[in-house]
């Protein structure tokens, strides 16, 4: 388990009883809709009281602790608000850690997600990761295709991966992406070694790093047959950092190159603005069904009205994450999704109006502004 701080030592402005209740809630095996709503409403009331910007936002929509009756009524805040507003109940200087977005979409403005303590984030991550990625395995040797936490102290993904190594990695685990870039040669040696010894191996990192890796190995004609129990975790998509290829091709290549069945290639869907992640059960068939633990619930909405669309229709994903105890529980993403039995399908990003008319659209404008 993660290192959970004594709630008594948490900074001022933070309801320690709330954090405690949250940790107890997360430790439950499951929760009913009612139980989930009750805790969501407690968090909503807390955030409404301690975050004035959020309070005004809610009031403008006529949503107050008096009128909000269930988790579905909590107004969803767009993720861009993490750039424009300070969405924190605890004053930022008193927060243990701030995670920032990579700033790829709006010039240099980066979204900030303040965590007074990482206790909740860490508990959420480890409990969920243990079930969805480790699947009963206690520890596994890990290779990380992402910079470490020292290099990227404000990256939630760097922290996530560091936590994975710390809690679930064997001593032989290591990083293969440093200031010099991707060390595919050294990784190749390690993989050859585990292939010989039969030690299961887990390779985790950003989706685009896997593309770089596959490109380099393809050039050298290198491939592996990793031992049974080996697995892969990719996250985040290509983000313009690598060539883009259809996901079908990505997993086919990845599986062929590592000798890992596609059912053991797991994709994690997470965001800086959340404290909880979603996983699929492998990518043998696409698109795979994503789902999260019982302390996060999702809705598929019509972005203009905020109303849920009919089951099976495309909409924008809104997530209510109880792990977001200090910021806002409910966010409106820019991701298109559709609800299915057991979770949702992620259908990509809502790319806006470009390519329809000849009027300059925001996305093009921002790209030009960056160039």
Which positions touch another protein (CB under 8 A)?
A: 53, 56-57, 60-61, 77-78, 80-81, 84-85, 302-306, 314-316, 332, 334, 336, 350-362, 364-365, 367-369
Tokens of 109: 């403005």
Q: Is 24 left (phi over 0), alpha (psi -120 to 50) or beta?
A: alpha
Is 39 or 316 the residue whose CB approaches another protein more closely? 316
Measured from the CB atom, the residue of 56 and 225 that comes closer to another protein is 56
- What tokens were used for 49? 């009281």
Shortest Cβ distance from residue 79 to another protein (Å)?
Answer: 9
DSSP secondary structure string for all residues of 288-352: PEEB--TTEEEEEE-TTT-PBPPTTSEEEEEEEETT-SSS-SEEEEEEEEEEETTEEEEEEE--T
What minimum distance in Å lies between the beta carbon of 85 and another protein? 6
CB of 371 to another protein, least distance (A): 9
Closer residue to another protein in complex, CB, 19/76? 76
Cβ-based burial of 267 (10 A; exposed 0-12, middle 13-18, buried ≥19) = buried
Q: How far is the CB of 274 from another protein (least distance, A)?
A: 17
Min dist CB 316 to another protein, Å, is: 5
Between 63 and 139, CB nearer to another protein: 63
Q: CA nearest 37: which of 212, 295, 278, 210?
A: 295
Token pair 């019509």 in the structure block, residue:
302
Least spacing, CB of residue 57 vs another protein, in Å: 7
State the CB neighbour count (10 A cutoff) for residue 40.
23
- Tokens representing 145? 């295709």
User: Which residue, 185 or 355, has its beta carbon nearer to another protein?
Assistant: 355
Q: Which is nearer to another protein, 337 or 343 (CB)?
A: 337
Tokens representing 262? 């596609």
């Amino acid at each position: 388990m993660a290192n959970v701080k004594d709630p008594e030592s948490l900074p001022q402005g933070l309801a320690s009883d709330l954090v405690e209740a949250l940790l107890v809630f997360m430790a439950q095996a499951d929760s009913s809709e009612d139980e989930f709503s009750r805790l969501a409403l407690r968090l909503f009331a807390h955030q409404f009281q301690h975050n004035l910007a959020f309070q005004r936002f809610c009031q403008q929509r006529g949503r107050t602790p008096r009128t909000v009756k269930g988790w579905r009524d909590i107004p969803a805040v767009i993720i861009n608000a993490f750039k424009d507003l300070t969405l924190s109940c605890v004053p930022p200087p008193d927060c243990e850690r701030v995670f920032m977005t990579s700033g790829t979409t709006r010039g240099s403005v980066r979204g900030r997600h303040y965590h007074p303590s990482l206790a909740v984030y860490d508990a959420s991550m480890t409990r969920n990761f243990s079930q969805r990625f480790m699947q009963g395995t206690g520890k596994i040797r890990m290779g990380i295709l992402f910079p470490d936490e020292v290099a990227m102290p404000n990256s939630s993904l760097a922290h996530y991966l560091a936590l994975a190594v710390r809690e679930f990695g064997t001593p032989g685990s290591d990083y293969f992406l440093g200031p010099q870039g991707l060390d595919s040669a050294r990784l190749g040696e390690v993989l050859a070694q585990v292939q010989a010894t039969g030690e299961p191996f887990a390779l985790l990192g950003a989706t685009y790093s896997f593309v770089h890796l596959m490109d380099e190995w393809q050039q050298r004609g290198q491939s592996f047959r990793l031992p049974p129990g080996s697995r892969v975790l990719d996250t985040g998509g290509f983000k313009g950092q690598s060539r883009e290829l259809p996901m079908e091709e990505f997993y086919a290549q990845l599986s062929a190159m590592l000798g890992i069945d596609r059912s053991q290639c797991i994709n994690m869907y997470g965001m800086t603005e959340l404290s909880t992640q979603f996983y699929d059960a492998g990518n043998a068939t696409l698109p795979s069904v994503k789902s999260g633990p019982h302390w996060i619930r999702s809705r598929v909405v019509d972005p203009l009205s905020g109303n849920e669309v009919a089951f099976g229709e495309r909409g924008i994903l809104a997530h209510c994450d109880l792990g977001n105890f200090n910021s806002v529980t409910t966010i409106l993403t820019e991701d298109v999704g559709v609800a299915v039995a057991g979770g949702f399908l992620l259908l990509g990003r809502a790319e806006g109006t470009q390519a329809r008319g000849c009027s300059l659209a925001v996305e093009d404008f921002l790209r030009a502004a960056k160039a």
